[in-house]
Amino acid sequence: MPDPLLLQCDREYLDSIGGDMKKASWVIWQAAFGKNFGDRYFRNMVEDAHITLRTNSNSQLVAMVRQGVVLGLMTAPIARRYPELLPVSDTPLVTSELWLLTHSDLRDSARVRCFMQFISEWPVAE
């Protein structure tokens, strides 16, 4: 089961924007700079978003949200580490998935089968 991405913020920041997401500034996680895949994806979720910072650092994203100056998306396990942050919505915006693919010549090997079994039974943080 994939970890959901939750919209998190500081209580004072949420109060300062009156709960209106269109007034919010955002920090978004973006793996590859110079490419706009993440930006397009995010803008499909949040129309007309004012993106203040794009980062490939989870710690930087969390620090900005904890400072109370932006909204940000983070996985549930990360969000749970910071009880001072509030979920803006009970409904996750995104869930991430893991696809496991293997070459047809290898899928029946003992090592690959063992790994596939192990990873499929990995406990999910909730």
Confidence of residue 88 (pLDDT cuts 50, 70, 90): confident
pLDDT in tens, 16-27: 988 887 888 988
From CA 21, how far away is CA 9, in angstroms rounded? 11
H/E stretch holding 76 = helix 76-80
All structural domains of the chain: 4-95 (3.40.190.10)
The pTM of this model reads 0.64
pLDDT in tens, 5-48: 677 788 888 889 888 878 889 888 776 655 565 566 677 777 78
Upper half-sphere CA count for residue 100 (Cβ side, 13 Å) = 11
**Three-state DSSP state, 29:** strand
